[in-house]
Amino acid sequence: MGRMTFRPALLASVLALTSAGAADFAKEVRPVLETYCFKCHGAEKAKGGVKLHEASDLAALYRDPLLWDKVLVELRDEAMPPDDKPQPSADERKRLIAWLDRALNDPDPLAVPRDPGKPVLHRLSKREYNNTIRDLLGLDAHPADEFPPDGGGGGGFDNNSATLFTPPVLVEKYLAVATKLLAATKPERLIVARPNPVLTKIDAAKNNLSRFVARAFRRPVEPAQIELLLQLFAQADARGESFDDAVRYALRGVLVSPDFLFRVEVPRGLNASPVSDYELASRLSYFLWSSMPDDELFRVTHAGTLRQPAVLEAQVKRMLLDPKARAFAETFAGQWLRVDELTTSAQPDAKRFPDYTPALRDAMLAEPVEFFHALVRENGSLLRLLDADYTYVNEPLAKLYGLDGVTGEKFQRVVLKDRNRGGVATMGAVLTLTSYPRRTSPVLRGKWILEQILGTPPPPPPPLVQSLPTNDKPKDGLTLRQQLEKHRTKEECAGCHKRLDPLGFGLENFDAIGRWRTQIENQPVDASGEMVSGEKFNGPAELKAILLKHKDIFARNVTEKMYAYALNRGLESYDVPTVRRTAKTLAAADYRVDTLVLEIVKSYPFQNRRGTVAVAAQ
Amino acid sequence: MKTTPLSRRTVLKGLGATLCLPWLEAMRPASALAAGAAAAPVRMAVLYMPNGVCPGKWNPTGAGRDFELSPILQPLAPHKDEVLVLRNLWNAASNTGDGHYVKTGGFLTGTTITRTTGSDLRSGAVSMDQVAAKRIGHMTALPSLELGIDPPATGVDTNVGYTQLYGAHISWNTPTTPLTKEINPRAAFDRLFRSNTPGRAAEAAKDRSVIDLVLEDAKRLQQRLGKDDRQKLDEYLGSVRGVEQRIAFDAKRQSETVKSDGLAEKAVKELGARIDAYADPARVSERKGDHTEHVRLMLDLMVLGFWTDSTRVSTFMFGNAVSGRNFSFLEGVSGGFHEISHHKNAPEAMAQYERINTWHYAQFAYMLEKMRAIREGERTLLDNSMLLLGAGMHDGNAHDPHKLPIVLAGRGGGTIATGRTLAYEKNSPLTNLYVSMLKRMGTPVEKFSDSTSELAGLDDANFKGLENA
C-alpha cells in the first residue's frame, strides 16, 4: 500500500469500500461464524476464553484484531472447528479466510483509529543509563550494574516505560554514583571555561553548565534551569571549594535531575501531534543505541533538518553502522529471543552436562547477539534468523557444535556445512534455555518457536496436567517422545500439543545443551514430525525449511516485536494496521533489516505523541 | 564485572566501629531513656515461597498446644514453642486468573491483580507491609527492606497474559507501583550500613542541598507534563523525598551521643566479610551452587537490619513465582522447582517436592535461631518480632489457593502466644492475620481488603482453633 494522502476523491472511495466491508461482514461473515463457531465461542460457552458472538460489525474486528488473527490462523490451519464438530464447506472456509485476511492484513487506514499510544514518562533503563553515562562522561564505568534490576513487560523488553519504576533505593544510587562519576571524569570533559580577567567566575560556571546540561538533557535548556543549578555552584564556592569542584557539585544536580534520568517529552496541545525534533532524536538514539544522541545527530537536529526524509534515512543508516548499535542487538535480539534469561533460568545439571561451563554459557549468550549485530551491519535479510549457512562461534562453542579450527575466546564467522545447524532455533542458547536440567523439552522448544519465532503463543495448559519425568530415561517402556504422543491422544491436550510437540521433536537431535546427538538413552533419535497443516519433516534442516515457508508470519512477528521495542510499550489494537503495513513493506523489500527499522522510524506512533486529551477512539 | 570507580569495598573498609547502633542505645529517644520505659519495637517480616507445598506433608496434626509438626515442618522442631502454624487461611481474591501470578502479586494486598502484559500494572492496593512502613518508617533509617533472590524477568507470560513482573514482587508501595527488591547481598549490605562510613555525613549534607534543588526544579517540570506522565514523575518525587528523609534521619542519628553495641558491630563486620567472600569475582561463576548461602546472607541481612533497628519492616522472596530453580544440590532432588511441583501424585516427584519445601523451612529455622540468640532486655529479638512464612497456594500441582501454608514465628513483643497450631473455619481470610499483625506493629487498620476481623486467638494460649481440622 502506498503512502496515504488525503485527497477527497480517494477518501470517498475508501469510505465506500468501508461500508461495503461492513455489509460483507453482516451478510457473508457473521452467518458462517454463527453456524460453526458460536456454539462453543458464543453467548453460552466461551471455550478457551474466546467469545466471538459480540462482533456485529467490521469495527469489532479492529477492537480486538489479535483475537481475530487467532481466528484466522485457526481457520487456515483447519484446527477449528475441531474434527468432531460440524465443518464449514471448503468454499465457506475460503471466503471467511479471504475476508478476514483482507480486513486484518490490508486494512484501510481510515477505517481504523490512529493513536500514538499512551504516553508514559520513560525512566532510563539500567542499560540506557550505563550507555548514556558512557557517552556523556566518556566513562566505561557501568555504574548501573549495581542498581536493582529492572523489570519488564509490554512487548517483553526491559525498556518498557510503564514498568520502569523509580523506587527510593534507585534514587539513593543515583545520588551515590553521581558524585563518584563526576570525580572520575576527565576535567576537560566537564570544564571548558575557567574564570579569567575577562570572564567572571559566575559566567565561566554558566558556560560550563550550559554546555553540559544541553547534552545531559538532550535538548536546549531554558536559562532558568541554569540559574537554578548555579545556586549549587554558588553554595560550593561559598564553602571555599575550588572552581572545578564547585562546577562538579552543580553537575551533581544535573545527574539526579528528572530531565536527565527520564526521557522527558512535553505534550503539545490537546490532540496528538509530532514530537519535537530533539525528542525524535532521543527516540532514535535510544531505539538504536540505547543511549543519548551523539554530536552528529544533535547537529542535524539543531539544524532543523532531521525530519527531512533523506536526512532521517541517512542518520538511521549511519547509526545502524555505528558500533553502538551493538546495544540494539544485545537488548532487542537478546530479549526477543529470551536468550538473556540463560543466566537466570537455565540450569543444566552439572553432573550430566559437565561441559556446560561459565565460558560456554557466555559464548552461547554472545552467539545470537553477534549474529544479529552482523545482520544489522550487513543489512541482511531477517529470514537468516530462521536459517543461515553461517554463524558466529568461539572455541568453546565451536567445540560444542563439533566445528574444527576455531581457537580462542574471540568470535568468528564460520560456514556451516551441516545445514541442521544454522538459524536462531538451533543456537546453543535457545536449545539450552528450552530444556530442563536433565533432559530436553520438545514442548518448551515448540512453545519457544511458536512464541518467539511465529508470535503465536499457545494458551495455558489446563490445571492438573500429566507431568513427565525429569530425565529422558524410558518410562513404562515408552521413550519421552512416546509418552508425549500418548499425552496428545487426550482430547483436552491435543489442541495445543499437536501444534507444540512436532516443532520440538524436530529439534530432538540437539541435547539439553544444544549438542548434536543421534541417540537418546541408546535409542535412535526420532526427529520426524507432522505439522497441523499436514507438512511433514524429518530433522532440523527440514523443520527449518517449513518455518521458512511461513516467513510472513515470522516477519510480522519480528515487526511487532521491534515496534514494541522501539515504542517502549506493548502493542495495542490501534497499532495493528501500522504493523501490518510495515510487515507488507518488509516482505516487498526482501526482509532487509534497514527497511524494518526505517519503516518504524517513519511510522505514525514513532513520530507522534498523544495530546493531553485521551483519544476518543480509546 | 567491569571495574567501576565506585569501590564497594571502601564502604566496608570504612565501616565505623562506633556507629553501629542496635535499637536500645541508638533509638531510644532521650526522654524515653529518662523515663526508663522504652520497650523494644516490634519488627515484622514476610517471607514468601513460590510454587506451594507438597500436599499431605505440610499439615501438622493435633490442635492448640497439643500438636505434632508435619514432615515439611520438621526443621522447626527446635522452635516449636516459638511458632504458630496457621491453617485454612486463604486469599479469596486470588482464586481466579492464573496459577501463579495472581497468587503472588496479590499475596500481601488481598486483592486481584489486573491482568496485563505491562501497561496499567495494578495490584489494587498497598501491600500490608507497606501500610506499616508508611506509618512507622520515619523512625528507622529505612522505612522497609525488600529482599529477594531472583531478578524479575523482562518477559510476558504469554500463556496467561501477565507480565512476569507480578511474580517478582509482593510489596506494593502504591496500588500501581511494586517495590523493587534487592537481590544483591553486597548492595543490600551497603544500603543498610553505609551511612556508618566516616565522611559520609558531610557528603550527605551536600546531597541534601542537591535534592532540595532537584525537587524545586521538578515542580516546574510537573506543570509541563500531562496527567499520564505525571504519575511517573510523582513516583520519582516520592522516592527523592524518601531519600531526603533518610539523609535527615542519618544526620540526626549521628549527632546523638550513643553507646555502641559490640556484639552487633561484630555481627555486621562478620556478615560483611561473608558477603565479600560470596561476591568475590573469582567465585561468581560458580554462584549457582551457592543458593543456600545466598538465601542465608539475605536472611542475615534482615536479622541485622532488625537488630540494629535500621528497619522494622521487611519482605523476602525465596524465589519468583513459577521459579524453576534447579534444586539438584539437595540430596534426592533432580530438577527444577516448578517442574517438580507439578507432581501429578507420582510418589517420586512428591518426595522431591517435599525435600525442596523442607529446605525452605530449614532456612527459616536458621533465621529463627539467629534471632533467638539476640537479647533485647528481658526478651530476644525473635520475641519482639513477627515473621510470617507463607506461600500463595497449597498444592502447586493444582495451584490450590485454599489452605495456604502459613507459619507465624515470634511473639510480637509478647502479644502472641506461640507454640500452637490453629485451624480456622475453611476459607478464613488471610487478611485477618494482616489486621492482627498491623495492630501489633502499632499501625492498626479497621479493615484490610476482605478482612472480617482480627485473627482469633493469637494472644490466648488456651485457644485451640478447630479440632479435627
pLDDT tens digits for range A358-399: 999 999 999 999 999 999 999 999 999 999 999 999 999 999
The reported pLDDT for the residue numbered A467 is 55
Say which of A123, A161, A437 has its CB closest to residue B335: A437
Question: If pLDDT is split at 50, 70 and 90, which confidence band does A482 have?
Answer: confident
Residue B296 has pLDDT above 70, yes or no: yes
Residues in chain A: 618
CA-based nearest residue in chain B for residue A160: B118
The reported pLDDT for the residue numbered B148 is 96
Looking at beta carbons, which residues of chain B come within 8 Å of A261?
Answer: 236
Show Cβ contacts of residue B141 under 8 Å, excluding neighbours closer than 6 positions: B192, B195, B246, B249, B250, B253, B310, B311
Say which of B229, B243, B399 has its CB closest to residue A171: B243
Contact A121 B225 (CB under 8 A): yes
- The residue of A345, A351, A447, A490 whose CB has the most chain B CBs within 10 angstroms, and thus the best one to mutate to test that interface, is A345
Contact A463 B121 (CB under 8 A): no
Q: CA-CA distance, B147 to B316, in Å (whole number)?
A: 5
Question: If pLDDT is split at 50, 70 and 90, which confidence band does A615 have?
Answer: very low
Residue range B321-331, pLDDT digits in tens: 999 898 989 99
Question: If pLDDT is split at 50, 70 and 90, which confidence band does B24 have?
Answer: very low
Q: For residues A247-254, give the mean pLDDT.
A: 97
Percent of chain A exceeding pLDDT 90 equals 64
Question: If pLDDT is split at 50, 70 and 90, which confidence band does A20 have?
Answer: very low
- DSSP letter, residue A363: H
CA-based nearest residue in chain B for residue A469: B349
The reported pLDDT for the residue numbered A590 is 97
The reported pLDDT for the residue numbered B198 is 60
CA distance A163 to chain B (A): 6
The reported pLDDT for the residue numbered B254 is 65
Question: If pLDDT is split at 50, 70 and 90, which confidence band does A14 have?
Answer: very low
The reported pLDDT for the residue numbered B33 is 37
Contact B242 A171 (CB under 8 A): yes
Contact A175 B210 (CB under 8 A): yes
Residue range A256-314, pLDDT digits in tens: 999 999 999 998 888 899 999 999 999 999 999 999 999 999 999 999 999 999 999 99
Higher pLDDT, B7 or A221: A221
CA distance B465 to chain A (A): 32
Choose among A72, A70, A73, A67: nearest CA to A55. A67
- Computed over every residue of chain B, the mean pLDDT equals 87
Print burial letters for B305-314: b (CB count within 10 Å at least 16), e (below 16): bbbbbbbbbb
Q: For residues B399-416, give the mean pLDDT.
A: 96
Looking at beta carbons, which residues of chain A come within 8 Å of B178?
Answer: 151, 165
Q: For residues B311-323, give the mean pLDDT.
A: 96
Say which of B121, B207, B233 has its CB closest to residue A175: B207
What is the amino acid identity at position A502?
A: P
Residue range A552-574, pLDDT digits in tens: 999 999 999 999 999 999 988 88
Q: How many CA atoms lie within 13 A of A254 on its CB side?
A: 29
Report the predicted TM-score, pTM, of the whole model to 2 decimal places: 0.85
Residue B10 has pLDDT above 80, yes or no: no
Query: B331 to each of A177, A202, B206, B350, B360, how far by Cα in Å?
Result: 43, 69, 53, 14, 14
CA distance A314 to chain B (A): 32
Question: If pLDDT is split at 50, 70 and 90, which confidence band does A349 have?
Answer: confident
Q: CA-CA distance, B134 to B154, in Å (whole number)?
A: 29
Contact B326 A458 (CB under 8 A): no
Say which of B2, B119, B288 has its CB closest to residue A142: B2
Looking at beta carbons, which residues of chain A come within 8 Å of B314?
Answer: none
The reported pLDDT for the residue numbered B6 is 34
Higher pLDDT, B412 or A30: B412
Contact B2 A165 (CB under 8 A): no
Looking at beta carbons, which residues of chain B come within 8 Å of A129?
Answer: none
The reported pLDDT for the residue numbered B284 is 55
Segment among A200-214, A374-388, B166-180, B198-212 with least mean pLDDT: B198-212
CA distance A161 to chain B (A): 8
Looking at beta carbons, which residues of chain B come within 8 Å of A570?
Answer: 117-119, 156
**3 state DSSP class of B459:** coil
Contact B240 A171 (CB under 8 A): yes
Q: What angle do CA A499, A504, A508 make, to 5 degrees?
A: 150
- Interface A-B: count of C-beta contacts within 8 A: 271
CA-based nearest residue in chain B for residue A172: B243
Looking at beta carbons, which residues of chain B come within 8 Å of A561?
Answer: none
Segment among A139-143, A199-203, B336-340 with least mean pLDDT: B336-340
Residue range A161-206, pLDDT digits in tens: 999 999 999 999 999 999 999 999 999 999 999 999 999 999 999 9
Contact B119 A465 (CB under 8 A): no
The reported pLDDT for the residue numbered B199 is 67
- The residue of B117, B208, B350 whose CB has the most chain A CBs within 10 angstroms, and thus the best one to mutate to test that interface, is B117
Residue A86 has pLDDT above 80, yes or no: yes
The reported pLDDT for the residue numbered B227 is 81
Say which of B217, B239, B398 has its CB closest to residue A228: B217
Residue range A300-341, pLDDT digits in tens: 999 999 999 999 999 999 999 999 999 999 999 999 999 988
Looking at beta carbons, which residues of chain B come within 8 Å of A120?
Answer: 119, 228-229, 231-232
Percent of chain B exceeding pLDDT 90 equals 66
Contact B397 A464 (CB under 8 A): yes
Question: If pLDDT is split at 50, 70 and 90, which confidence band does A407 have?
Answer: very high
Looking up cell 559566567 gives A203
Kind of pairing between the strands at B313-317 and B43-49: parallel
Higher pLDDT, B268 or B357: B357
CA-based nearest residue in chain A for residue B333: A470
Segment among A37-41, A387-391, B70-74, B462-466 with least mean pLDDT: A37-41
3-state SS track over A402-462: CCCCCCCCCCEEEECCCCCCCCHHHCHHHHHHCECCCCECHHHHHHHHHHHHCCCCCCCCC
The reported pLDDT for the residue numbered B80 is 98
- DSSP letter, residue B100: S
Looking at beta carbons, which residues of chain B come within 8 Å of A464?
Answer: 344, 397-398
Q: Do the beta carbons of residue B152 and residue B168 sit within 8 Å?
A: yes
Contact B233 A258 (CB under 8 A): yes
Q: Which residues are B314's β-sheet partners?
A: B45, B145
This complex has an ipTM of: 0.83
What is the amino acid identity at position B285?
A: S
Show Cβ contacts of residue B412 under 8 Å, excluding neighbours closer than 6 positions: B42, B384, B385, B386, B437, B440, B458
Question: If pLDDT is split at 50, 70 and 90, which confidence band does B196 have?
Answer: low
Q: Do the beta carbons of residue A230 and residue A202 sit within 8 Å?
A: yes
The reported pLDDT for the residue numbered A480 is 80
Per mean pLDDT, which of A11-15, A505-509, A572-576, B343-347 is the most reliable? A505-509
The reported pLDDT for the residue numbered A514 is 97
Q: For residues B415-431, give the mean pLDDT.
A: 97
- Computed over every residue of chain A, the mean pLDDT equals 89
Q: CA-CA distance, B25 to B309, in Å (whole number)?
A: 10
